[in-house]
Amino acid sequence: MNENLFASFAAPSMMGLPIVVLIVMFPSILFPAPNRLINNRLISIQQWLIQLTSKQMLAIHNQKGRTWALMLMSLILFIGSTNLLGLLPHSFTPTTQLSMNLGMAIPLWAGTVITGFRYKTKASLAHFLPQGTPLPLIPMLVIIETISLLIQPMALAVRLTANITAGHLLIHLIGGATLALINISAATAFITFIILILLTILEFAVALIQAYVFTLLVSLYLHDNT
């Protein structure tokens, strides 16, 4: 079991060709574009949830920041759907790959920073040097603020990767322990199975919460720069 502990996190391939692109594109099938005058219940619920989330997330933004509404909603839908699909048996979760999360975090972070330097140049530069800083501390504070700015996309990606990966590892370990305990003690195996069910329910919540947290932090970075 220890040898195959991280096997589920390896990028899948078919006939030697990676199929990560197909897996990443698959969640778009779950959100069909409405083409009827009266939608069914599923599409109506999806639209209601999207409107509720967008209204809450964009309430703090000005008109310039609200132009990112489509990007933010697409981001939260993509991360949430891939996290949930990754909980299915024998499936692959793209958000457990740090490279992919960095690929999402760095361009979005860079877009917010460039927007800030373009439209709020003085305010963006002022973040590097708080008002009233003593003269001897100016070089040190500029370096610290620069590092804190550059580490933001790494923090976004590592947070998402660590939370999703930890949940999958716990499910894998507890599931393996449940199978091993069946022949030893049925009562202990049943208790472990109950823990596994509760952990799976928790992972469903974590999958949605992490999608919301990732998108919310990008939204806050955008708010600071618009």
pLDDT, tens digit only, all 226 positions of the chain: 445 666 566 666 665 556 666 666 766 676 666 677 677 777 777 778 888 888 888 888 888 888 888 888 888 888 888 888 888 877 778 888 888 889 889 999 999 888 888 888 877 777 777 777 777 877 888 888 888 888 989 999 999 999 988 888 888 888 888 888 888 888 888 888 898 899 889 998 999 899 999 998 998 888 888 7
Taking the C-alpha atoms of residue 95 and residue 206, their distance in angstroms, rounded to an integer, is 13
* Structural domains of the chain, count: 1
Tokens encoding 226: 């618009």
Residue 118 lies in a domain: yes
Residue 148 lies in a domain: yes
Q: How far from each other are the two terminal CA atoms of the chain, in whole angstroms?
A: 50
What torsion, rounded to 10 degrees, do the Cα atoms 171, 176, 180, 181 define? 0
Residue 1 lies in a domain: no
What pTM did the predictor assign?
Answer: 0.79
Q: What pLDDT sits at residue 40?
A: 73
Q: What is the extent of the structural domain holding 190? A: 6-223
SS3 at position 14: strand
Q: What pLDDT sits at residue 12?
A: 61
